[in-house]
Amino acid sequence: MLEKLKGIIRELLWFIKGVDQALLEESVSALEGEYLELETVFLTIVLGPLVGIRTLTPLLSLELLDTLRDELRILASRAFKGEDVLGDLMSALGGEW
């Protein structure tokens, strides 16, 4: 009887740990989604005045461009490659086209 009770308690603890892990993973994925949305908004705010969307003054946008150096490099490489699937695969593997 005591062993059966210990087994039930052990299973209940595993269930609670599983629920805790699932909530943690769900929270992380929600935070990643929020991060991507905020990054998109920041890019729109900074690059918008350069293409005609009035959000900031163009001078302020130019001052903030230094923080976007890596993103602009990725944007330029994607624009250069276009829809090159093989190029995307090779760049994901670490190669350069």
User: What is the pLDDT confidence band of residue 97, given thresholds at 50, 70 and 90?
Assistant: very low
Q: Which of 35, 56, 38, 36 is nearest to 47 (CA)?
A: 56
Specify the higher pLDDT residue, 46 or 5: 5
**CB within 8 Å of 44: residues ≥ 6 apart:** 53, 55
CA dist., res. 76 & res. 4, Å (int): 64
Q: pLDDT tens, 42-85?
A: 888 877 777 777 777 777 777 777 877 877 787 777 666 666 66
Specify the higher pLDDT residue, 17 or 71: 17
Specify the higher pLDDT residue, 31 or 74: 31
pLDDT at position 27 is 93
Q: Which of 92, 51, 58 is nearest to 74 (CA)?
A: 92
